């Protein structure tokens, strides 16, 4: 399949890209830094392209869509993964959470623009391509519901809650078409760049927890799977 993974230069996105190359998929991964995206893509086996894309910016998204289709000759799967976390507004969010009224306005906007608006912009840009594919797929990465309600987690919690609602509406709007929409989440705290420095991550999930479910979602075994919320820690081989 021809797959676009946003935010694919590190963390969950990179783990998913690495897993999908093992199945021979053709991949474009994105990052805000085009040079880094190109370098990361070059470190992976198989056909992997890296492009610069700022999911907050509609023009950048359109250019990224055009570059993706140009390199792959079309698109079958979008993995909406690009996101930023709490450390961008409070580096000590796990040990010294701050109440919502102390969150900087610009920090709030940056997180929501990336984690929610970004999902909307990228999906909107590529849905026509997915509808042209034999069986297009959208996978929206999300997180545990408890984190969406956790004290001290504004704006990250609301941004992910909004993206999850958006995903459900995407699924409803695309019902009856050839495009499926599903949610995928690790199922617990995961070792990524969103974790503050100095925090003991020994009990956290590895980013590779996403490998098995994303490989399944991009396989023929997942044909017709639509509007499901798949938790990686609970995933059993459904093939």
> Which residue shows structure tokens 């190109």?
38
Q: Are 220 and 145 in contact (CB under 8 A)?
A: no
Of the residues 93, 153, 156, 216, only one is catalytic, namely 156
58-72 and 118-132 helices cross at what angle (nearest 10)?
30
44 contacts 17 by C-beta, under 8 angstroms: yes
Per the CB < 8 A criterion, the answer to whether 47 and 29 are in contact is: no
- Is 156 designated active site? yes
Cite the DSSP H helix spans in 73-179: 105-112, 118-132, 145-148, 156-174
Mind telling me the catalytic residues?
Answer: 156
């Amino acid at each position: 399949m021809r797959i676009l993974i946003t935010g694919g230069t590190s963390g969950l996105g990179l783990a998913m890209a690495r897993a999908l190359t093992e199945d021979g998929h053709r991949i474009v991964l994105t990052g805000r830094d085009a040079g880094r995206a190109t370098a990361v893509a070059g470190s992976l086996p198989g056909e992997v392209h890296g492009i610069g894309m700022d999911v907050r910016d509609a023009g950048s998204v359109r250019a990224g869509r055009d570059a993706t289709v140009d390199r792959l000759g079309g698109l079958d799967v979008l993995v909406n993964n690009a996101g930023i976390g709490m450390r961008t507004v409070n580096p000590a969010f796990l040990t010294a959470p701050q109440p919502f009224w102390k969150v900087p306005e610009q920090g709030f906007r940056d997180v929501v623009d990336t984690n929610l608006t970004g999902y909307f912009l990228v999906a909107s840009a590529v849905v026509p391509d997915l509808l042209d594919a034999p069986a297009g797929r959208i996978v929206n990465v999300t997180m545990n519901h408890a984190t969406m309600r956790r004290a001290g987690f504004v704006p990250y919690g609301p941004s992910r809650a909004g993206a999850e609602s958006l995903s459900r509406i995407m699924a409803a709007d695309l019902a009856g078409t050839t495009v499926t929409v599903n949610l995928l989440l690790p199922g617990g705290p995961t070792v990524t760049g969103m974790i503050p420095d100095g925090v003991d991550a020994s009990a956290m999930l590895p980013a590779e927890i996403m490998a098995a479910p994303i490989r399944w979602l991009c396989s023929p075994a997942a044909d017709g799977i639509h509007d499901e919320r798949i938790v990686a820690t609970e995933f059993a081989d459904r093939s």
